[in-house]
Structure 1
Amino acid sequence: MKTCPCSLRTAAVMAALSLVAVAAQAQEIVVSAAASLTNAFQEVGKAFEKAQPGTKATFNFAASGALLAQMTQGAPVDVFASADQETMNRAVAAKLIAEGTRADFAHNTLVLVVPATTTTPPQQLGDLAGASYKRISTGTPASVPVGRYTMESVQQAGLTAALEPKWIYGESVRQVLNYVARGEVDAGFVYRTDALIERDKTKIALTVPTGTPISYPIAQLASSKNAATAKSFIAFVRGAEGQEILGRYGFSKP
């Protein structure tokens, strides 16, 4: 029985298209990143795709703890960028991270912000214990890194008991920022990079010292099916162009 040449050509074309589709898919990555990286990473992603034609970075932004929970439950992720070392440590302990790919790429600062209409902002953390500050927000400490940094600073200042009844917790640092911007709370703890986003609606009252440096680690997931592109993205974030973009959004180099 003879095979029609046209059938052979069709099969060859289909096979070639399949290989192209597989190759294209191998260039696509999903990046789960801390909410505070939203604006900066969106620009980093565009620059990365421009620098490496054919690549595509899709982002999933949320609190670092929430992202870890998603990955633990099997969410398909190629790169994880956390706002703290503790959450990344937990990802490593859960064997989610590809060995040798973890690296720090940015630092941040904790600040206290108040609504822009506030006439007498607090001059020190102790002022938050006063009657003028009834509702104070930060991230949920169990899942949002900014909440853990906040509680550490509050404890160091001896204000844990005084502020306990005043807390309004947010599911991410951006939610905390929104609470302050809308005037739903009297003050909130966020990162400096977030405060710069809502300069018309909020203002920084003071910089808050933290015992633990606010450093951001990034790593490739062990389950990534697009390891080469994931590694390229991490290298881009840590490279000159990625660092320049992060610097414009208020992040400092590690």
Structure 2
Amino acid sequence: MKSLLFSAACLLAITTTAHASDLLIASGAGYRKPVTELMEAFNKETGLTVESSFGNMQQVRAQSEQNPDIAAIIGDRFFLEPMGIAQQFVNISQGALMLAVPKGKTIDSIQDLQQPSYARIAIGDAKKTVYGRAATTCMEREKIQADGRTLEVAMLPQVSTYLLNGEVDAGFINRSEALAHKDKLGTILPMPAHCHDPIDLSLAVLKNRPDNPTLQSWTQFLGSDKAKSILERHGL
């Protein structure tokens, strides 16, 4: 009897989870804060619910392949397009690369990273995160020699964590992370646009997924003034 009750409870939990949202998406971890606020605003405006899982682009791709309920991905087009899993791209905004140091410290230029005092420089994994790729490209174009001093992490929020804990001397983050933690960091420098390729934040509508009316509403909402104000507040 207990076993039957347990099985019924599990089935109820699975059913509840499956119908908890009108739309399921996946998103790059570096955009957790703005995407979460967008989902909340969308729910308030329409009464429809969007839920998202978050991870680096490799994790997001794996999730979308394993879960056919995921209808779209929010991430950087540079990584999404070569995957060949999208039938349509909707441009949302453009990202910006920032260089930050822990609270109480200052930095005047990316060239300062040449100094030995910057012994640990945190960046996202260039193969997994667009900001890691942008940071690597930026250092190459600015001729920054940092061999043996960079600390690569799988997801961008980890860079912020290292900076906030004072475990690194500098780190490359995006504008969203910079704004979210601006009172807890030292100097935050915007990197010049020419030092890396454009960072295009896009919604990738996935192939071979059933039609979902909520996805169309969500796409329209992302182009609304309300969504744009949220994105701007998060530096996008």
The TM tier, using the shorter chain, reads 0.7 to 0.9
In structure 2, the residue matched to 1:32 is 26
The C-alpha deviation readout for 1:195-224, integer Å capped at 9, x for no partner, is 111123213342212331122011222243
2:161 is the counterpart of 1:174: no
Deviation for aligned residue 1:75: 5.7
3-state SS of 1:200 partner: helix
2:179 is the counterpart of 1:192: no
Amino acid across the alignment from 2:78: E
The C-alpha deviation readout for 1:46-79, integer Å capped at 9, x for no partner, is 11112222x2111112222321232234463112
Q: Residues 132 and 75 of structure 1: is their aligned pair in 2 closer, same or farther, counting only changes over 3 Å? A: farther
In structure 1, the residue matched to 2:7 is none
Residues 72 and 206, structure 2, Cα contact 8 Å, conserved in 1: yes
Q: Name stretches of at least 5 consecutive residues in structure 2 with no aligned partner.
A: 1-14
Q: Residues 112 and 236 of structure 1: is their aligned pair in 2 closer, same or farther, counting only changes over 3 Å? A: same
Residues 130 and 199, structure 2, Cα contact 8 Å, conserved in 1: no
Instruction: Tell me, in whole angstroms, the C-alpha distance in 2 between the residues paired with 1:170 and 1:52.
Output: 37
The C-alpha deviation readout for 1:170-198, integer Å capped at 9, x for no partner, is 11111111111110100000011111111
Which of 94, 110, 114 is the equivalent residue of 1:107?
94
2:189 is the counterpart of 1:206: yes
Which of 140, 155, 165 is the equivalent residue of 2:140?
155
Q: Which deviates more, 42-51 or 221-230? A: 221-230
2:202 is the counterpart of 1:217: yes
Deviation for aligned residue 1:233: 0.9
The C-alpha deviation readout for 1:114-142, integer Å capped at 9, x for no partner, is 00121xx2222221121110000010111
Q: Name stretches of at least 5 consecutive residues in structure 1 with no aligned partner.
A: 1-20
Amino acid across the alignment from 1:191: N
Residues 175 and 234, structure 2, Cα contact 8 Å, conserved in 1: no
Q: Which deviates more, 218-227 or 141-150? A: 218-227
Q: Residues 205 and 58 of structure 1: is their aligned pair in 2 closer, same or farther, counting only changes over 3 Å? A: closer
Which of 26, 42, 46 is the equivalent residue of 2:36?
42
In structure 2, the residue matched to 1:6 is none
Q: Which deviates more, 68-77 or 164-173? A: 68-77
Point out the structure with max Rg over C-alpha. Answer: 1
In structure 2, the residue matched to 1:59 is 52
**1:65-144 aligned within 5 A:** 65-74=58-67, 76-82=69-75, 84-91=76-83, 93=84, 96-97=85-86, 99=87, 101-118=88-105, 121-144=106-129
In structure 1, the residue matched to 2:9 is none
Residues 40 and 249, structure 1, Cα contact 8 Å, conserved in 2: yes
- Under a length normalisation based on structure 1, what TM-score does the superposition of the two structures give? 0.79
Amino acid across the alignment from 2:63: Q
- Under a length normalisation based on structure 2, what TM-score does the superposition of the two structures give? 0.85
Q: Residues 233 and 127 of structure 1: is their aligned pair in 2 closer, same or farther, counting only changes over 3 Å? A: same
Q: Residues 29 and 123 of structure 1: is their aligned pair in 2 closer, same or farther, counting only changes over 3 Å? A: same
Amino acid across the alignment from 1:72: E
In structure 2, the residue matched to 1:249 is 234
Moved over 6 A (4+): none
In structure 1, the residue matched to 2:148 is 165
Q: Residues 228 and 182 of structure 1: is their aligned pair in 2 closer, same or farther, counting only changes over 3 Å? A: same
RMSD after superposition: 2.1
Deviation for aligned residue 1:90: 2.2
Instruction: Tell me, in whole angstroms, the C-alpha distance in 1 between the residues paired with 2:161 and 2:29.
Output: 13
Q: Residues 235 and 204 of structure 1: is their aligned pair in 2 closer, same or farther, counting only changes over 3 Å? A: farther
